[in-house]
Structure formats: C-alpha cells, structure tokens
Structure 1
Amino acid sequence: MLTHVLLFCFFYTFKKKSGQIESSFTTDVIRCKAAVAWEPNKPLVIEEIEVAPPQANEVRIKIVASSLCRSDLYLLREGKKDFNFPLVLGHEAAGIVESVGPGVTEFKQGDKVIPIFISQCRECRFCKSPKTNLCDNSVPVVRYEGMPEPDSRLTCKGKKLIQYMGTSTFSEYTVVNQNAVAKVDPAAPLDKVCLLGCGICTGYGAAVNTAKVEPGSTCAVFGLGAVGLAAVMGCKAAGAKRIIAVDTNPDKFDKAKEFGATEFVNPNDHDKPISQVLSDMTSGGVDYSLECIGNVGVMRSALESCVKGWGISVIVGFTNVHDLSTRPVQLLLGRTWTGSAFGGFKSKDGVQQMVKAYMDKKIKVDEFITHNLTLNEVNDAIELLKQGKR
C-alpha cells in the first residue's frame, strides 16, 4: 500500500525519439513502441503495438514526453481490482496532433496538446455546473465488476490493449477523445508542461480551488511527493502565512522550502499522534490540511489536525482499497472533509490556465523534474519511484 514516505519531485520524463509530423493527414495504422503491462506486479514490456486511426471525435497524438505518476504504480500493485490487463499506463503527457477523426473541429494536425484523464465535454450536467470539474463523458478512474471497458485503438499481438484513464501515454502514439485533450501554447516546452496533465494541477488546485486557502491562514500538507509539493506551492500562492510540511523523510524539507513550506514535521520524531502535534503547534489546529499520499490513516490524521469550527481537510491522494473512517464528532464540531480530483480544474480550461501561468513564470514546473529517461528505461523509472531516489 502507499505509505506516507513518498517521493518528492518524482515526475520522470520519458523523452521520445524525435521525428517530424507528416505533412498530410493519415488514416493508416501506426506501428510504434509502447510499454505494455501484461499482468499486475510485473515489469512493463516494450512492445511494438498497432495504433489505429482516430474514429469520430478522436485525436491521434504523437507523444513527445510523458511523466510517471504514483497512480500508475498503484494500478500495477493492486492488480485487477480496478482495471483489467493487458493495458498501457501513463496519463501525464504532452504531444503533437498527428491526425484527427470525423467531427473534430477544435484540433488540427501539428497542434501542441496535453491529453487529460478527466474530460470536459462542456455539454453534460457536470460540465455546465460551476460546482464541479467532473464530466459524464470521462473514462472511469475506478472500474467495477461487469462494467464494460471503453473501446481502445491500441492492439498488440492481436490483443486489445486497455487504455488507462483513456490516455495511455507510455506509448509513442495514442488516440484520445477530443473531450479529453487540451490545446496549449505553441511555445510551451512539451517536456516540461507534460507535468500539468495530472500531478501539479492536482496538488496546486486542491489548495486554491478546493480548499480555497485564504491569505494569512495556516496549512498542513501531508506527503511531499510531487502532488504534495504542488499543494505547498498552491498554499503559498493563495497567501498562507504558515505552511507545515509533514513527511517521514527529513531529506524532503529543503525541497519543500523551495515551494513555500515554512516548517517541517516528521511524525517519527514524536511520541504522540501527528494531529496532536499540529494542534499544539497551532493553538488548536490548522485552518486547512491536504492529504497528498493516498493512505486512509493519514487522511484521518489530516482531518483531525484541523481546527474545530472551520477547519477544512482535502483528500488529494488516491486509493480505492480501504474504507475511510473517523468519529462523527470530528465533523459535528464544524470541520469539513472533502475530496479533490484534478485540483478542481475544469480540465481543458484549467490546463490552458496552468500552462499560461508557467509561461508567465507564476508557477514552478521545471523544479519537479529529477530524471530524464527514455521509454526503454520505464522500468528503471518505476524502481526509482518505488525507492524514493532523487
């Protein structure tokens, strides 16, 4: 299971081989390399796969760079609980439109784009509501028994490859529904802004959009992986006065300071619950807490670290294997417990906003990247992520 000994800045960028986009639209099947997960808890295998041409409302994308997220490892570890196999992982990437299917008007060949695991169709009940960033037309992140798999344009050795989160970016080419693609500034460096396809937006937005951190407030961020660092950055951007970084790895604090953390607490250094430690430090609890790990025990600690009356705790880390609980009095006394998917950003709009913020030097992105590896080295990247190597 995920623990709260998480990595910091661990987005590995897989740089694909360079190549020119064809001068005309193509409807041919493309053969290319991809990292295929044939079964859970096994190394990915670099295979030659076939990528079919895009169908109606779809975009075929040449992936330029893809980053590795803990969610990819979660799926490998948890096996067939949420997804079947074989599949192609990857959901944080950037690339160039190679061709489009019938009905696509928003994109054209050569556009720089970021595929997104949450759609924005702009037509469903959720897209039309300002209260959420969910979309009825998104590929489900969690699947249940009997739920049909969405169609896939990827095949290998005669078998359909499931497209994880509808994206499957550990491939040199992929096909994505146009509702789950954001066009970005042509000047944006794709090997940097690929990180905005998940982790940075998820953590940053959890602070500014979901928690709505207020100037002068006190925040606690649990877990200093890339999502946690992005949450720290969001708390700082929102004007928080104190940002307490919580992690069991003291080596992470120097990096957290770069993103705005003012204090560091290691739960292993104390003989009482971390919620009590934070309560003692803040005269009763923090105004906002963000759990960026995916551990239900830490989620409860984050809630109970909040001040009664108005404290808000946001669940950001993903897990789907354990039930979540707390004593009702924690909520009866006025605390709010909520969750955040993709940082509350309407996906297409949010990615474009964050790319602009990066281009305007208002947010950090480059600082999250610790390794540049090729697609052939994907298993090395996975091991580095597991071990917490910088």
Structure 2
Amino acid sequence: MLYASVCRTDLLFANGVVESIGEGVTGLREGDLVIPAYIADCKTMSIRGQTAYHAFSCSTWCQYLVINVNFLLKIDPKTPLPDASFLSCGFSTGYGATWKEAMVQNGSSVAVFGLGAVGLGAIKGAKSHGAIKVIGIDNNPMKAAKGRAFGMTDFINPGESDKSIAELVKDLTAGMGVDYSFECTGVPPLINEAIQSTKLGTGKIIQMGVEEPNVNINIIGLLIGRTLKGSIFGGLKAKTDLPIIYSKCKNREIQLDELLSHEIKLEEVNKVFELLKQPDCVKILIKI
C-alpha cells in the first residue's frame, strides 16, 4: 500500500502497487498502480442455487494487502496518489448515487445533507448531470466554501434558523421541495428531514449515511408518492463504473484537491480520530 484515506465510518481505502499476483489472474501484472474498492465488479452470483452476497473485502490499514483481482482498478502510474485514494470510497459514493441510483435529470433540484466527502461527491455528481439548484446542508459554516467549489448553488446552516431543514429547503424552491435528497450523515432526524424536503408524489431520497441500525421513519411522508432508497458505494462497480469517474478526474473535469485537509504518516494513525473532529476536516490522507 502507498496511501490510504480515512472515512468517517472508520473504513480505510487506498491505492497501491501490485506486489505479486496469484495463479489465473489476468489484466494485471507486478508493478501496476491500482485502486482497491470494497465492492467487486461482478454480476449476480449464486452457490448451489442460492444468491451469494459479499462486500467490504478491502482493508488498507496495512503495508501489504491480499485482495481478489475483481476489487482492483488499474490506473495510470502518473495519477496523483492522493487523488486516487479518494476515489475508492467517499467521493465516488456520493457521485455514483446521483448517477446510478437517483439518475439525476437535467434541470432538476437537489438537496445534499452533510458536506463531507460523500456529500461533496453528490454535489459534483448532481451538477455534472444537469441539476440547476444544488442545496448543501451542514451545521459547519466552513463547509460552505467546499460545497461551492464542487458546484453547490445554495447553503443551509440549520443552526442559523428556527425553521426545520425541510422548511428552509422549500423556501429555496418556491415551496415545492427538491426533486432529489441525498442523506449522507445517517443522523436519524435528518433522514426524515430529507424525506420531507422532497416534492410530493415524485421526490426521491437516497440514503447513504448510517449511524444507528434502527431508526423511526415518518411513513406518511413516503405514502404520498416519495421513494426512499438505500445505497452502498453509490451503486458503482469497480471495473465498470469507477473508470468513468477516474477518467473525469484525469481530465480535470473533477478536481479532488479540495477534499484533502490533513496528511499524516502511518505511525501517526492514532491521530486520525481526533482530526476527524476538527471543523475543517474533510479527508485525511495516510502516507504508508
């Protein structure tokens, strides 16, 4: 492993160089620069007639990683290594959710709850797919500049108003609400706010954050035509979809520089949990 970036779920994703390959591996050779993803590129699998489920087979808090080739994306050796590590999780998750899950339409409106790496990815994805109003929501005023760097048009700091977030979103959308909400925090009350922030009858809510295994949902908010969908890794596949996002980064259509807020060495890894509490923290890079 060369670099790992820290996710707020305490999962670490990275890039590295292929040290050796096992029997039957094709498409990679020793020395190739790769990005490991925790979702493999595969179709529906079954074992003895039963559907097989498998995920999170990627752990990068180490110098060496043994991993199935289906979890690796080969990249250009000239790629900036910090940028490559950011594509393995957070940013790609948000971007993919707008593209593969919600299928954001041209001329639409979007609300993004939580402006960490996932939320900033959702902002960029929504803007790239034609959204004309992209509302970022975060109680940290320092995130406003980050959001605008990725295409946000409006910023809401819930702590600056006595209104609910849904009311504030509707104030910015002529009372209608947005076409799509992307909930990136997992904070239970915000899930219901994300639901109520969308349009009646057609609103789509993509849930990516998780804080507690069980939450109370306002089911009435869904019965009137809204759709709530969960998403892991933004619906992306490592070898089918990640290359498209990687290509946009390589061509500078997507600039990930704004994500990097801290860089530490592997032996300083215990610092990451304190750094995550800093108001300016977006992505921490671990140099291995």
1:123/1:280 CA distance change after superposition, 3 Å: closer
Unmatched runs of 5 consecutive residues or more in structure 1: 1-62, 73-88, 126-134, 140-164
**Which of these residues, 115, 135, 143, is aligned with residue 224 of structure 1?**
115
* TM-superposed deviation, 1:255: 1.5
| Divergent runs of 4+, >3 A | none
Q: CA deviation at 1:371?
A: 1.9
Check conservation: 1:117, 1:138, Cα contact below 8 A. no
User: Does the 8 Å contact 2:146/2:258 carry over to 1?
Assistant: no
- In structure 2, the partner of 1:115 is 36
Contact conserved, 1:124 with 1:136, CA < 8 A, in 2? yes
Contact between 2:140 and 2:279, CA under 8 Å: does it hold in 1?
no
Aligned residue in 1 for 2:251? 360
Equivalent position SS for 1:173: coil
| Alpha carbons 1:288, 1:306 under 8 Å: kept | yes
Quick one: distance in 2 between partners of 1:123 and 1:279?
40
Letter of the 1:307 partner, please give it: K
Confirm whether residue 315 of structure 1 aligns to residue 231 of structure 2. no
Residue by residue, what CA displacement relative to the aligned partner does 1:24-56 show, whole Å, maximum 9, x if unpaired? xxxxxxxxxxxxxxxxxxxxxxxxxxxxxxxxx
Q: Secondary structure at the match of 2:105?
A: coil
Q: Is 1:273 matched up with 2:164?
A: yes
Q: Distance in 2 between matches of 1:172 and 1:213?
A: 39
Distance in 1 between the 2:132 and 2:226 partners? 20
| Identical residues among aligned pairs (%) | 41
Output the aligned Cα RMSD.
1.8
Partners in 1 of 2:262 and 2:178 — Cα distance?
Answer: 34
Query: Residue 68 of structure 1 aligns to which amino acid in structure 2?
Result: V
Contact 1:232-1:243 at 8 Å conserved across structures: yes
Kindly report which structure 2 residues correspond to 1:1-390, keeping only aligned pairs within 5 A, or say none. Answer: 63-72=1-10, 90=12, 92-122=13-43, 124=45, 136=52, 138-139=54-55, 165-282=56-173, 283-319=175-211, 321-390=212-281
Structure 1 residue 341 displacement after superposition: 1.2
Tell me how many residue pairs correspond in the alignment: 276
Give the drift of 1:326: 2.5
Do 2:142 and 2:280's aligned partners in 1 also have CA atoms closer than 8 Å? no
Q: State the Cα deviation string for residues 264-300 of structure 1 (Å, max 9, x = none).
A: 1111122232112222331221111101112122111
User: 1:328: Cα distance to partner?
Assistant: 2.7
Q: What CA distance in whole angstroms lies between the structure 1 residues aligned with 2:42 and 2:98?
A: 25
Residue type at the aligned position of 2:191: M
Q: Which residue of 1 aligns with 2:285?
A: none
Write out per-residue CA displacement over residues 90-144 of structure 1, whole angstroms, 9 at most, x where no aligned residue: 2x1001100011221232111111111111234626xxxxxxxxx94533xxxxx
Residue identity in the other structure for 2:37: I
Quote the Cα distance in structure 1 between the aligned partners of 2:95 and 2:272.
Answer: 24
